Amino acid sequence: MDEMIARKEGRAGRLTFNRPSALNALSHPMAMEIEHALDAWRDDPEVSLVVIDAVGDRAFCAGGDIAAVYRAALEGDMRPGREFWADEYRMNAKIAEYPKPIVAFMQGFVMGGGVGVGGHASHRVVGESTQVAMPESGIGLIPDVGGTLILARAPGRVGEYLGVTGARINATDAIYAGFADRFIPEADWGSVKASLVETGDIATLPHGAPPPEAGRLADLRPEIETGFGGADIHTIKATLEASGSHFAQDALKAIGRNSPLSMEATLRLVRMTRADNTIRGALENEFRFTWRACEQGDFVEGVRAQIIDKDRNPQWKHTLNSLPEADVAVMLAPLGADARIEFA
């Protein structure tokens, strides 16, 4: 069974996640299949647009399939992770820069690697079940796959808040924060896709309607601006502790769970990307961290605690109080010529 179904249908190229039992987690071969299909359709006159969707109700894609990366890293082999991320990031850039319209229909969980596929499409559709998050700090990683670009473009300090805490957001907030463009009721998705496939005309895509469920980010903006405008994670923690609000308490719980090294690096990456504001710049900066994540970061321990053993008790390399500036600087230092993403 193909885990990523790529085919031409009518006037469209179609890509469908087909691992519903694994919440459509994106594996290395699946990422390569997406890239190969996009390359084949780029100059194909029979393909006017691309539609990306997923089998199952629970998830569009709940993240990357990192089990193989974890196992290899335990044996001291960092290559599988580095090769996966380099190939995945090149694919993310191709989606963001694609010359033809790409429409992503994102139901259920849209996290990590799923954001890297759907979040960079030119037309991003969410529905009633959509839940978006970038929870990588909880496994000792950083919001990658170009996620720092979306976070950097979010209103005010919303990107810092979502990146540091990994908070989940609904369709309304996904649109507000810039992860999606429009809400279309999921009951209508079948007919909308059929029209796109038949006509190849992006103008047939409805403009959308207001989501039925209210968001919370707009109302929380004053607290987000105050709480997450600090220069570093220590300042943010102190500001939240001084606030004592319900929002602050929830944010502090997440900060207490997540990797201190990852949270501080996330803050810096979002702000680095805000200054650059390009998909390739975001991916290159993220690769600085992920290239080193297995060997020098908290990634292996985070995956063990959250995904493998599921004891939810990661033993991070540092506490917030003991986090050395030098370790953060090392994780974000420029990479050498032998550790580059070969964009094509």
DSSP 10-76: TTEEEEEE--GGGTT-B-HHHHHHHHHHHHHHTT-TT--EEEEEESSSSEEE--B--HHHHHHHHTT
Question: What was the pLDDT predicted at 307?
Answer: 92
Question: Degrees (nearest 5) of the Cα angle 112, 65, 124?
Answer: 35
pLDDT at site 142: 98
- Whether residue 160 is contained in a domain is answered as no
What share of the chain in percent tops pLDDT 90?
Answer: 97
Domain co-membership, 193 together with 258: no
Domain that holds residue 265: 217-332
Angle at 78 between CA 75 and CA 82, to 5 degrees: 150
Average pLDDT score over residue span 217-242: 97
Report the pLDDT value the prediction gives residue 50, as an integer from 0 to 100: 99
Are 167 and 145 contacting, i.e. CB atoms less than 8 angstroms apart?
no
Q: Which of 13, 33, 35, 64 is catalytic?
A: 64
In a domain, 342, yes or no: no
Query: Looking at the structure, do residues 275 and 199 belong to the same domain, yes or no?
Result: no
Exposed e or buried b for every residue in 10-42, given b needs 16+ CB within 10 A?
A: bebbbbbbebeebbbbbbbebbbbbbebbeebe
Q: Average pLDDT for residues 56-81, to the nearest whole number?
A: 94
- Residue 195 and residue 221 in one domain: no
Hey, what are 282's tokens? Answer: 């975001």
- Residues 26 and 122 grouped into a single domain: yes
| Secondary structure (DSSP) of 235-279 | HHHHHHHHH--HHHHHHHHHHHHS-HHHHHHHHHHHHHHHHH--H
pLDDT tens, position by position, 256-306 = 999 999 999 999 999 999 999 999 999 999 999 999 999 999 999 999 999
146-159: pLDDT as tens digits: 999 999 999 999 99
Asked if 180 and 238 sit in the same domain, the reply is: no
Tell me whether residue 286 is in a domain: yes
292: left (phi over 0), alpha (psi -120 to 50) or beta: alpha
Identify whether 276 is a catalytic site residue.
no
Q: Say yes or no to pLDDT of 1 above 80.
A: no
Residues 253 and 111 in one domain: no
Give yes or no: residues 123 and 11 share one domain.
yes
What are the residues whose beta carbons fall under 8 Å from the beta carbon of 122, sequence distance 6 or more?
Answer: 98, 101, 102, 103
159 classed as catalytic: no
Catalytic residue status for 136 = yes
Per the residue annotation, which of 63, 113, 118, 297 is the catalytic one? 113
What is the domain-level CATH number for residue 182?
3.90.226.10
Could you say which of 3, 33, 35, 144 is catalytic?
144
Is the domain of 237 the same as that of 107?
Answer: no
Model confidence pLDDT, tens digit, residues 105-144: 999 999 999 999 999 999 999 999 999 999 999 999 999 9
d(CA 337, CA 334): 10
Residues 180 and 260 in one domain: no
Give me the number of domains the chain comprises. 2
**pTM over the 0.95 mark:** yes
Q: What pLDDT does 338 receive?
A: 80
In the numeric block, the tokens 């929830």 are attached to 250
Q: What are the tens digits of pLDDT across the range 24-42?
A: 999 999 999 999 999 999 9
In a domain, 104, yes or no: yes
* 196 in the same domain as 234: no
Domain end residue (candidates: 204, 227, 259):
204
Can you say how many angstroms the Cα of residue 31 is from the centroid of all Cα atoms in its chain?
14
**Which listed residue (65, 136, 186, 223) is catalytic?**
136
Active site residue 309: no
